[in-house]
Structure 1
């Protein structure tokens, strides 16, 4: 494609985050500095105070978790990402809630013989999974006595974290599938990435944010968004083949409010689908069902009102039957956008500060750069240089050439600005991450997690799930 065929590019402003439900001035583009300046969005609301912590650790090693939890209320200076990461002043000072050890019977250790079983077993992942499952069943009987469970997994058990070459097993996802079904928020703490990681400020920000969100808190929301808008992330997960049974797919539909919060999702199994290149596509009837249930979620939170505008994101194309099913479900909405978000694209870009200058700028393409390829295609740089974070443009990760994502519109009209800005804003709504943004909007980042975990759940409930149980 020659330069003359490209549409003009625009620079979308960096979305701001809101840290108070009524004070419109409590906004910031930096999530962590916003927390330090204003406190969390749900300050004084929703979150238990104190947050009661239960623990599960290897035999004789609970003290490692106790020491780690004490660290959360200590102060640390960052030793990495200094241009972005502020000092950690302690959990209570950031979130304005206390944390404490849960009551009697909420602190368990795994059986001492598990060490030998993991060392000598030909299937260490099964031994580990069975031991943790037994402990979780015990803790489930004490569920009303704690708010969040911390599980410590040492590096020496690494060989039991995944299954064999032909086995679809992941210990992290196995634990989440068990605990999500019991509405039990869990924080898994690894030795290398948690207990012994050198930058303690980085660890505390990451774990502290996750703990607050898993306890039911809302760290921030999007500011200055279009009201009466619903964002829906759609993901499918092919269940493993089981001998003698038809293959089926689990549909996950997540619904986000206009401010990027209100994270709930529904999941159910269907066998009305077609598979192309290992990607399932729903029939018109099934797409209508899943989108109708998504609308029910939104209406339940908004006194029966339907949104004026709906944006649906997924990573594969919308087949004609899927488009028809969506449009039938959203017939009461004024505007519907069905957008495919493609992460792996061959496009790259270099930024030139002056037109015609052959020398590229000293920093990458700005985040928020939007380049139209046509009426139905556009490139959006969700990863790139960001101004007003430090003394110079901040480039997350600090190296490489940022790749854009490709947006393909399968339904909807108008220019790309509003659709692209919403995706840019939603890339800042992952409360399980201390980074400024993710490459993908939260509608699809969470879809990745859900598709991995939900397929491992033996039974799917009929009521909506809260995503905090899957984080």
Structure 2
């Protein structure tokens, strides 16, 4: 047995494409690419984007001012090595943002605020008031595209529940998503008070465009016959004296990385081990079959040649059998466990002519570095230094020692090239973030969002959900 590890392999930063036909319009920097080329779905989203508003009584003007700010240009005062100037929503996306008609402007009477200040459960009271205010807007759903909800800082006591699993953000998402209503929460202490207005405008502008149905960018140079599936679960109780049940969710991403829909349903045919659910063979067959139906619906009835499935827990034997039973015609099936919390760290060491032992590099290990731990396991640095973004090396966050994710292959064979490239590419497909990448592939980062929100939804329909309602 040796203490040596395998040599490091490095994969370059994946490129994004900003036009469905002109594939030369590409860039590794998502925001720079948007400024240069515009969004991938330019001209396919109805202009203007109509915004409904919900605010405390007498404070709607703060939301209108925020919308006007979206159309103004501003320079960044942070992350200047990454953030481009914000030239205005009209310039970036070639469309306007406007307030919806007066019947889509709701103001919340503040008479409940004194009661909330004295209540032992202010989050319950605030949630009820907001839901009650949103309900009338359902009658005018065809008159607006996105709802802006303004939350002033003085309501902070109601944002989270003391002692229970409550988050106002997720509660509102669960309610509105079930009704096909995309929302953008605008907090006074974050969206309105944050000092770097360019950062706020990029984040909100991207989210607004995607929530209105737009596609900012897609992946370039990926296998057009591969489907990527992310499976996640939310475990919850069905009453104090009843067994827990599991909401199973599956997102299907195509070769371009566009996972615009997903399926979700409740099941009791699971084993829960240390709060981690594992499906039976029949349930895994069911979820993969429904996922493939979703893929074929988006691709004219065509099935993928290869399927790559990600989940955060191991694949039990029954789950592996269920996957293969559901994918009999696929040439290749890769079942990959993505482990986020690992103890490994990596430091970058450079050769030095003056010192035969070398020296520590000025920057961390490169993003895209991979070290194999055997035939079934590998470490992949999703976070790290990027040398090809501009004239200087870029390190997102500018702090800490990057830690890798661990990829564990429960089915599949060959090198780690396809799995690593896919994970790196899918880390750039979060349209609700202005960063260069996420620390996880979107199959897993979306899974976290969906698990939080879905467990708060009381009734899950049989039809697919659009992810834009959960962003």
TM-score by shorter chain over 0.5: yes
- SS where residue 302 of structure 2 aligns? coil
SS in structure 1 at match of 2:314: coil
Secondary structure (helix, strand or coil) at the match of 2:361 reads coil
Q: Aligned with 1:359: secondary structure?
A: strand
Q: Does 1:85 align with 2:86?
A: no
Q: Is 1:184 aligned to residue 178 of structure 2?
A: no
Contact 2:350 2:358 (8 Å CA) reproduced: no
What is the CA–CA distance in structure 1 between the aligned matches of 2:2 and 2:135, rounded to whole Å?
A: 62
Aligned-residue offset at 1:24: 1.1
Give the match for residue 367 of structure 2: 367
Contact 2:237 2:243 in 1 (8 A): no
1:126-165 correspondence runs (5 A): 126-165=124-163
Structure 2: tracts of 5 or more residues without a match: none
Quote the residue 2:464 is aligned against: 464
Q: State the Cα distance separating 1:241 from its structure 2 match.
A: 4.3
**Contact map agreement 1:253 1:294 (CA 8 A) in 2:** yes
Greater alpha carbon shift after TM alignment, 55-64 vs 373-382? 55-64
Greater displacement, 347-356 / 377-386:
347-356
Would you say the 8 A contact 1:83–1:389 is kept in 2?
Answer: no
State how far apart, in whole Å, the 1-side matches of 2:10 and 2:198 are.
Answer: 33
Q: Distance in 2 between matches of 1:262 and 1:346?
A: 31
Which residue does 2:54 correspond to in 1? 56
Residue 43 of structure 1 corresponds to: 42
The alignment yields a C-alpha RMSD, in angstroms, of 1.1
- Aligned residues of 2:307 and 2:334 also touching (Cα < 8 A): yes
Structure 2 residue aligned with 1:105 = 103
Distance 1:256 1:2 in 2: 40
Structure 1: how far apart are the matches of 2:132 and 2:8? 56
CA distance, structure 2, for counterparts of residue 239 and residue 136 of structure 1 = 26
Moved >4 Å (runs of 4+): none
Kept after mapping to 1: 8 A contact 2:252/2:259: yes
Alignment partner, residue 27 of structure 1: 26
Cα deviation for residue 3 of structure 1 reads 4.5
Unaligned runs of 5+ in 1: none
- Secondary structure of the residue that 1:438 maps to in structure 2? coil
For residues 318 and 361 of structure 1, the distance between their equivalents in structure 2, rounded to whole angstroms, comes to: 38
User: Does 385-394 or 80-89 show the bigger shift?
Assistant: 385-394
Residue in 2 that maps onto 1:276? 273
Q: How does 1:183-332 map to 2 (within 5 A)?
A: 183-332=180-329
TM-score between both structures, scaled by the size of structure 2: 0.98
CA distance in 2, matches of 1:248, 1:395: 42
| Equivalent position of 1:427 in the other structure | 427
Range moving further from structure 2, 48-57 or 107-116: 107-116
- The structural deviation recorded for 1:28 is 0.1
Q: Could you tell me which residue of structure 1 aligns to residue 358 of structure 2?
A: 358
- Residue aligned with 1:425, SS: helix
Rounded to whole Å, the distance in 2 between the matches of 1:30 and 1:421 is 17
SS in 1 for 2:123: helix
SS at 2:362's partner residue?
coil
In structure 2, distance between residues paired with 1:376 and 1:244: 41
Separation of aligned partners in 2, 1:235 and 1:451: 7
Matched-pair contact (CA < 8 Å) for 2:16–2:27: yes
Q: CA deviation at 1:240?
A: 2.8
Deviation per CA, 1:358-388: give whole Å up to 9, x if none. 3111000000001101000000000000012
**What's the CA shift for 1:2?**
4.8
Aligned to 2:17: 18
- How far apart are residue 112 of structure 1 and its match? 1.8
Q: Is the 8 A contact 1:251 1:268 kept in 2?
A: yes
Distance 1:133 1:3 in 2: 59
Check whether the contact 1:111–1:131 (CA below 8 A) recurs between aligned residues: no
Cα deviations by residue, 1:104-139 (Å, 9 ceiling, x for unpaired): 210101122122122111111111011111111111
Shift of 1:245: 3.1
Give the number of aligned pairs. Answer: 468
SS at match of 1:268: strand
Normalised TM-score (structure 1): 0.98
Residue of structure 1 aligned with 2:65, choices 42, 64, 67: 67
Cα deviation, residue 25, structure 1: 0.3
Determine the structure 2 residue equivalent to 1:413. Answer: 413
Any conservation in 2 of the 1:149–1:185 contact (CA below 8 Å)? yes
Task: Return the offset for 1:390.
Answer: 2.8
Deviations 1:151-205 (CA, angstroms, capped at 9, x unpaired): 011111111111121x221110100000000100000011111001100000000
Name the SS of the counterpart of 1:235 in structure 2: strand
Per-residue deviation, residues 239-259 of structure 1 (Å, max 9, x unmatched):
234134332100000001111
Distance 1:305 1:89 in 2: 41
Aligned-partner SS, 2:12 = coil
- 2:385 equivalent in structure 1: 385
Q: Partner of 2:263: helix, strand, or coil?
A: strand
Cα shift at 1:389:
1.9
1:234–1:313 contact (8 Å) kept in structure 2: yes
Q: Secondary structure of the equivalent of 1:142?
A: helix
Name the SS of the counterpart of 1:316 in structure 2. Answer: coil
Q: Secondary structure at the match of 2:244?
A: coil
